């Protein structure tokens, strides 16, 4: 029963390999099926014997089974030669062992001497042992699931050789033969189980192997420095893949707008660039893997007769016999490919493909990280260059600004000296000009007084005109002096506009009484200003309202409006009004809208008002309709202001 179980294990591996070979025509699966064919034949013969109910099958069937069993070491060496390079003498030696052990069997039959039997077993064990050593060496070159499975296959091969050695020794040991037979059966059972696990592992075990290998390789890839470029990442991936798979060459192809391009190559590569197309790559990946590299001379049934695939042509020039195309799923739904070129057929293609594909997807993420790091470095370098350039520009601008500031300071100093000299000149000039005018007015008055009875009307008129012109010149000089002083440096303090208005109305009391004018006002605010200039501002505007009155009694109202950051005060009258076409002109010096003889004044009052308001950082203007009155308004900024609670008594009295 144990013998049947052992043979059943080997038969399972045989059937699996045979089916795989028929599906893919893979030489590795073919040689693997031949290795386990002898054990399967023994199982089939035993099942036939039991089904026939015979004690033994004809002798010819026994010779066939034993012959296949003796050929097993040679078949094992053929399998190893397909997986990796094997010395030629080892293959011929295995074949010699098979011949030297099979011929005596046919000549002597079952009458083999103990020495011949021992020699047969030793030769069998030697071949199996060397094959196990070669498989173990190949396992050391691999990683992950292929390494584990090759190591199990090497162990099973060594245990099988040891099993036959123990069985042969037991046949010549007399009384110890039964124990040795049992030991050989146990070893054969262990060998069968190891072969099944190596070549037909359950799905869960394959997942465990793949997951562990993927973690280890991913850990190696993840230890790359963050500054690694995408080209360096893909090159390290290609080198890792070549080490894992045992391939001669590993090639990474990534998609572009046209055809795929090679971004990394590890291992042997022929002369000339690798060029392929999307259709070529898709056709290769659709084929059962691995793909055998055909000879370019004859036409292949799978490839066009006119030419080989560019990738297969490249593989042929590299001396490869097998090509494996693994799709790489990249970010943003793009798909690249990993191409492996090998001089030997791989045994565990499905594990390699799955593992390497997953590794490629992870590498793509790492490559994008590297690309982002490189982009950040480039941007940082560009930003640093821009900062340096901008800093240099700012230094140049700062030097230029300092130069301009020095020039402005010099000009301001010159302007301050000039203004100071102009003020002194204006004072001296006004004093010197007023003295002759006073004498002209005085002597003209004396002349009129002393010659009033004897002076003719015409000379009297001339003298009176001289006196009037001199008086007008005197007022003009006084107004110019006042205008030149407005806007100078003044100490600003909180000024109660209500008190200012009361003082102005008191000074205009005679004119208000003569014209019968009525003045009213809203509660007045307190602003940050200069008391004298504010009195001059109100006096000029209210004085103009009295001067340019209509036939009706003058009615004047001062309204107040609080705005953001200041106060807007408006002096509304019912005078003759102003054409708004001249709204800007009236605030200029010496600008008059009426003949000189019609209204008194020099045309400088509103210019003084504008200069006063602008010296506080405010604005002044007028809204008027001819014949319906005017509304002169001005805005005074006030950081410290408060609304007066009541109109001063003096204002109230004037309003009444």
Indicate if the pLDDT at residue 569 is higher than 90. yes
Measured distance CA(475)–CA(231) in Å, rounded:
92
335 SS3 class: strand
Indicate if the pLDDT at residue 484 is higher than 70. no
pLDDT at 275: 77
Indicate if the pLDDT at residue 291 is higher than 70. yes
pLDDT at 128: 84
Name the nearest CA neighbour of 365 among 266, 251, 210, 228: 228
CB neighbours of residue 123 within 10 Å: 19
Task: Give the pair of three-digit tokens for residue 124.
Answer: 């069998």
pLDDT at 56: 65
Indicate if the pLDDT at residue 487 is higher than 70. no
Q: What values do phi and psi take at 401, rounded to 5?
A: -65, -40
Task: Give the pair of three-digit tokens for residue 486.
Answer: 């407005």
Task: Give the pair of three-digit tokens for residue 625.
Answer: 């309709």
391 SS3 class: helix
Least confident of 153-167, 253-267, 303-317, 583-597: 583-597
pLDDT at 217: 64
pLDDT grade, residue 508 (50/70/90)? Answer: confident
pLDDT at 490: 56
What mean pLDDT comes out for the span 368-396? 82
Q: What values do phi and psi take at 570, rounded to 5?
A: -130, 130
Confirm if 467 and 445 have CB atoms less than 8 A apart. yes
pLDDT at 651: 41
What mean pLDDT comes out for the span 404-415? 86
Measured distance CA(247)–CA(266) in Å, rounded:
10
pLDDT at 491: 66
Q: What DSSP character marks residue 86?
A: -
pLDDT at 644: 37
> Each residue of 72-96: pLDDT tens digit?
788 888 888 887 788 888 888 888 8
pLDDT at 498: 92
pLDDT grade, residue 57 (50/70/90)? Answer: low
Indicate if the pLDDT at residue 124 is higher than 90. no
Mean pLDDT (the chain, rounded): 76
> Each residue of 336-345: pLDDT tens digit?
888 888 887 7
pLDDT at 193: 80
Measured distance CA(3)–CA(219) in Å, rounded:
45
pLDDT at 524: 92
Selection from 143-152, 381-390, 425-434 with the highest mean pLDDT: 381-390
Q: What values do phi and psi take at 61, rounded to 5?
A: -65, -35
pLDDT at 415: 80
What mean pLDDT comes out for the span 338-365? 72
Indicate if the pLDDT at residue 299 is higher than 80. no
Measured distance CA(543)–CA(537) in Å, rounded:
10
HSE (side-chain half, CA atoms, 13 Å) at 310: 15
pLDDT grade, residue 301 (50/70/90)? Answer: very low
pLDDT at 522: 93
CB neighbours of residue 425 within 10 Å: 12
Contacts of 600-607 with CB under 8 Å at 24 or more apart are: 600/547, 601/547, 602/472, 602/475, 602/476, 602/479, 604/476, 604/479, 604/480, 604/483, 605/479, 605/540, 605/543, 605/544, 606/540, 606/541, 606/544, 607/483
pLDDT at 634: 92
Measured distance CA(277)–CA(237) in Å, rounded:
22
pLDDT at 212: 67
Indicate if the pLDDT at residue 112 is higher than 60. no
Indicate if the pLDDT at residue 571 is higher than 90. yes
Which sign, positive or negative, has the C-alpha torsion 524, 530, 532, 538? negative
Instruction: Spell out the residues 6+ positions from residue 351 whose beta carbon is closer than 8 angstroms to its own.
Output: 144, 145, 146, 149, 206, 209, 210
What mean pLDDT comes out for the span 176-196? 74
Indicate if the pLDDT at residue 630 is higher than 70. yes
Confirm if 4 and 46 have CB atoms less than 8 A apart. yes
């Amino acid at each position: 029963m144990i013998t049947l179980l052992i043979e059943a294990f080997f038969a399972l591996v045989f059937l699996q390999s045979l089916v795989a070979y028929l599906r893919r025509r893979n030489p590795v699966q073919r040689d693997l099926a031949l290795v386990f064919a002898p054990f399967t034949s023994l199982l089939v013969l035993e099942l036939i014997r039991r089904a026939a109910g015979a004690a033994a099958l004809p002798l010819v069937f026994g010779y066939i089974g034993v012959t296949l069993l003796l050929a097993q070491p040679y078949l094992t060496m053929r399998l190893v030669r397909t997986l990796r390079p094997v010395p030629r003498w080892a293959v011929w030696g295995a074949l010699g062992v098979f011949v030297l052990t099979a011929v005596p069997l046919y000549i002597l039959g079952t009458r083999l001497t103990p020495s011949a039997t021992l020699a047969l077993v030793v030769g069998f064990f030697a071949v199996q042992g060397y094959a196990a050593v070669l498989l173990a060496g190949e396992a050391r070159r691999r990683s992950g699931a292929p390494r584990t499975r090759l190591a199990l296959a090497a162990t099973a091969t060594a245990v099988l050789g040891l099993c036959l050695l123990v069985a042969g020794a037991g046949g010549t040991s007399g009384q110890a033969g039964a124990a040795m037979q049992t030991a050989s059966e146990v070893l054969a059972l262990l060998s069968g189980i190891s072969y099944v696990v190596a070549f037909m592992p359950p799905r869960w075990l394959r997942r465990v192997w793949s997951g562990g290998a993927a973690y280890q390789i991913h850990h190696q890839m993840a230890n790359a420095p963050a500054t690694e470029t995408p080209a360096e990442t893909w090159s390290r991936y290609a080198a890792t893949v070549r080490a894992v798979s045992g391939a001669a060459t590993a090639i990474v192809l990534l998609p572009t707008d046209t055809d795929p391009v090679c971004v990394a190559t590890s291992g042997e590569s022929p002369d000339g660039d690798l060029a392929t197309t999307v259709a070529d790559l898709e056709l290769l990946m659709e084929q059962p893997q691995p793909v055998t590299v055909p000879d370019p001379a004859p036409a292949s049934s799978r490839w066009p007769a006119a030419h080989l695939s560019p990738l297969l042509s490249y593989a042929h020039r590299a001396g490869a016999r097998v090509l494996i195309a693994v799709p790489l799923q990249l970010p943003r739904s793009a798909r690249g490919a990993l191409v492996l070129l090998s001089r030997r057929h791989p045994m565990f293609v499905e594990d390699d493909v799955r593992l390497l594909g997953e590794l490629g997807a992870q590498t793509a993420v790492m490559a994008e990280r590297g690309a982002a790091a490189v982009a950040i470095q480039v941007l940082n370098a560009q930003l640093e260059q821009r900062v340096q350039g901008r800093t240099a520009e700012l230094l140049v601008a700062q030097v230029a600004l300092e130069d301009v500031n020095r020039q402005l300071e010099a000009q301001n100093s010159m302007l301050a000296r000039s203004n100071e000299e102009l003020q002194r000149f204006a004072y001296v000039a006004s004093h010197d000009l007023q003295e002759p005018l006073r004498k002209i007015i005085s002597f003209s008055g004396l002349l009129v007084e002393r010659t009033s009875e004897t002076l003719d009307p015409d000379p009297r008129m001339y003298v009176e005109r001289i006196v009037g012109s001199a008086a007008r010149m005197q007022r003009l000089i006084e107004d110019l002096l006042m205008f030149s002083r407005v806007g100078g440096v003044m100490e600003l303090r909180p000024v109660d506009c209500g008190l200012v208005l009361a003082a102005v109305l008191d000074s205009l009391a005679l004119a208000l009484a003569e014209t019968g004018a009525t003045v009213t006002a809203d509660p007045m605010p307190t602003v940050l200003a200069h008391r004298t200039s504010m009195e001059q501002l109100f006096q000029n505007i209210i004085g103009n309202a009295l001067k340019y009155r209509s036939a009706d009694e003058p009615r004047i109202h001062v309204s107040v409006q609080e705005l953001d950051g200041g106060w807007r005060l408006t002096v509304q009258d019912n005078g003759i009004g102003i054409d708004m076409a001249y709204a800007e002109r009236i605030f200029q010096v010496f600008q008059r809208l009426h003949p000189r003889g019609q209204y008194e004044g020099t045309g400088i009052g509103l210019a003084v008002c504008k200069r006063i308001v602008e010296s506080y950082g405010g604005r002044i203007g007028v809204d008027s309709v001819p014949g319906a009155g005017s509304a002169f308004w001005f805005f005074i900024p006030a950081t410290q202001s408060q609304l007066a609670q009541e109109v001063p008594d003096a204002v109230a009295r004037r309003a009444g």
